Every structure is written in structure tokens, then in C-alpha cells.
């Protein structure tokens, strides 16, 4: 660990995390700005380096199976620099009056302590383009969207965000007579991808919208021609169209040639 002028930083705290955010442990200082974390298994990790009066640095690294974990970690060089001492983030709901407290706020992957009344404070954020992430608490996923936005971090930055609830879009797959086709399948995207299938058990696709969005659907059914369509989801129209903020789209499928389903 060094400063911008290549001076070793000996008072840093380094925490090591798995890619999923699980804390593995802290690195032990060895003197001269060197830190080591031993006994790591093969896999994807990131570490968070923090030093008094300097920016927090978060860096991803991968641990190959043929490299001893302590050596792999020692060979990562990080230049610390002064960050923005404090950035305020204020979050309100869609009517811009009520504050939101049941969320987590991260900027540059640094979680902000909660200061009530929708206010969050992030310390020592690195200067440059960073991602703001707003994550609903467990049980509030249908109340507020999981939101990400890029900001250019510099001194004097103050962030105000307005969160909106997810929009529910319901899709029906029908024949030429407007009757639902039994056993029809629906996918998000332009291909039949099992990983993106929208199951009939939920009967709906939840879209985390804050603005208009173009989405592609692919529908298919036995004895019908597979069809891919695009629809523009208007957030404002959806929120004003009903008390539950729903939109319903019909996808009409044509029978295959020679078939009379």
C-alpha cells in the first residue's frame, strides 16, 4: 500500500471479501506498507483498503489454484489517495415528500451508515466515476426498486434520489380470437432462453422502472409460430393507469401452416 507519492502506508485496514460480499477476514500488516491474508481458497474475491484521511479503495482479484494465496495477495499493489471526506445521500419516495428509511445505500461499494430521515453519509469516497446502489431491505423488494446510478464523485457533491416502486407488467399469450393459449411460454429477450422464462406461476413480470423502458418478449406455444415483439413501457402511464400500477399486454400467436389448433 502506497500513497500517490509512493510512500508506504502502514496504518491501513484491509478487509477481504468473497465476490458475493461475504467477509473472509482482515489482512495482517507486515511492515513497509505490506499486508497479507493467508489460507484463501481458489475463487473470486475483492478487498477493501481503508486508511485514515485517505480514500477507500476496493479492488477485485482472482485466486488461481496454482498460486499460493499469500503470494497472490502480496503481489497486488494499491495506490491510496485522498478521497472526498463526506458525501451526503438523501433518498425520498416517488411523491418527493416522504423519506425512505428501509433501504441500504452504497457508493463505490462503501455502505453508508444510516442517519434516519432518509439521510445517509458515505466517508472517504474515491474521486472519479462511482456507482450509487440503493438496495431495499428484506421484505420491501416489492415496495422499492433495486436501483443503480453512476455519479462523478468530487468535492461538494450532494446526492438526492427519488425511488419509485417496481412496475408490474402482465403479459397474456392469446390466439386470433383473443383466447389464452394453454401451455404457452413467455421469455424476456429475443430468444427462447430457459434462464429468462417468465413462469405462469407468477403470471407477471416485475420491471424496476424509474423511466420509460423498451423490453423484448418472445412467446411460443405448440402448433403456433414463435413470435418476438418489443414494447415500450411508459412508467408515467403505468403509474396513472390504475391503483396497482399495472399494464397488460396481449401477444397474439398465429397457427403454424396447415395446423388448426
pTM of the model: 0.55
pLDDT band at 73 (very low <50, low <70, confident <90, very high): low
The single residue listed with the C-alpha cell 438496495 is 135
Rounded distance between C-alpha atoms, residue 75 and residue 36, angstroms: 10
The 3-state DSSP class for residue 240 equals helix
Q: What is the mean pLDDT of residues 124-128?
A: 80
Rounded distance between C-alpha atoms, residue 6 and residue 33, angstroms: 10
Looking at residue 128, its pLDDT comes to 82
Instruction: Measure Cα distances from 251 to 63, 160, 193, 221, 227 in Å.
Output: 47, 39, 18, 11, 8
Strand-pair partners of 106: 111, 133
List CB contacts of 54: < 8 A, sequence separation 6 or more: 3, 9, 80, 81, 82, 83, 124
The 3-state DSSP class for residue 35 equals strand
Contact status, residue 188 vs residue 165, Cβ threshold 8 Å: no
Rounded distance between C-alpha atoms, residue 73 and residue 34, angstroms: 10
Q: Which of 10-14, 65-69, 227-231 has the lowest mean pLDDT?
A: 65-69
Output the DSSP codes for 108-134: TTEEPPB-STTEEEEEEEPSEEEEEEE
Looking at residue 52, its pLDDT comes to 74
Q: Which three cell numbers stand for residue 246?
A: 399495472
pLDDT band at 243 (very low <50, low <70, confident <90, very high): very low
Where do the domains of the chain lie, and which CATH numbers do they carry? Answer: 13-74 (no CATH), 84-162 (2.60.40.10), 167-252 (2.60.40.1120)
The residue among 55 and 203 whose pLDDT is bigger is 55
- Of 75-84, 95-104, 191-200, 219-228, highest mean pLDDT: 219-228
Looking at residue 132, its pLDDT comes to 93
Q: In this predicted model, what pLDDT tens digit does every residue of 81-103 receive, in sequence order?
A: 667 778 899 888 776 556 777 88
Question: Is residue 73 within a helix (H) or strand (E), and if so which, with residue range?
Answer: helix 69-74
Looking at residue 32, its pLDDT comes to 75
Query: Percentage of the chain surpassing pLDDT 70?
Result: 77
Contact status, residue 204 vs residue 222, Cβ threshold 8 Å: no
User: Is residue 11 pLDDT above 90, yes or no?
Assistant: no
Rounded distance between C-alpha atoms, residue 82 and residue 126, angstroms: 7
The single residue listed with the C-alpha cell 431495499 is 136
User: Is residue 67 pLDDT above 90, yes or no?
Assistant: no
Amino acid at each position: 500500500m502506497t500513497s500517490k507519492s509512493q510512500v508506504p502506508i502502514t496504518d491501513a485496514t484491509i478487509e477481504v471479501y468473497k465476490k458475493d460480499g461475504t467477509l473472509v477476514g482482515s489482512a495482517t500488516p507486515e511492515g513497509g506498507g505490506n499486508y497479507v491474508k493467508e489460507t484463501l481458497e481458489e475463487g473470486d474475491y475483492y478487498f477493501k483498503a481503508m486508511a485514515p484521511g485517505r480514500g477507500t479503495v476496493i479492488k477485485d482479484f482472482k485466486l488461481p489454484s496454482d498460486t499460493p494465496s499469500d503470494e497472490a495477495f502480496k503481489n497486488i499493489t494499491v495506490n491510496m489517495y485522498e478521497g472526498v471526506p463526506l458525501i451526503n445521500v438523501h433518498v425520498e419516495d416517488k411523491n418527493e415528500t416522504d423519506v425512505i428509511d428501509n433501504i441500504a445505500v452504497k457508493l463505490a461499494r462503501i455502505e453508508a451508515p444510516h442517519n434516519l430521515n432518509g439521510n445517509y453519509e458515505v466517508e472517504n469516497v474515491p474521486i472519479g466515476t462511482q456507482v450509487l446502489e440503493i438496495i431495499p431491505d428484506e421484505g420491501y423488494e416489492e415496495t422499492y426498486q433495486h436501483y443503480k446510478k453512476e455519479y462523478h464523485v468530487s468535492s461538494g457533491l450532494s446526492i438526492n434520489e427519488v425511488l419509485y416502486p417496481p412496475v408490474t407488467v402482465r403479459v397474456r399469450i392469446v390466439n386470433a380470437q383473443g383466447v389464452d393459449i394453454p401451455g404457452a411460454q413467455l421469455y424476456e429477450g429475443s430468444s427462447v432462453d430457459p434462464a429468462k422464462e417468465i413462469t405462469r406461476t407468477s403470471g407477471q413480470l416485475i420491471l424496476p422502472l424509474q423511466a420509460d423502458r423498451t423490453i423484448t418478449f418472445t412467446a411460443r406455444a405448440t402448433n403456433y409460430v414463435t413470435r418476438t415483439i418489443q414494447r415500450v413501457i411508459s412508467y408515467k402511464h403505468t403509474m396513472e393507469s390504475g391503483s396497482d400500477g399495472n399494464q397488460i399486454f396481449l401477444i397474439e400467436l398465429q397457427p403454424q401452416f396447415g395446423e388448426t389448433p
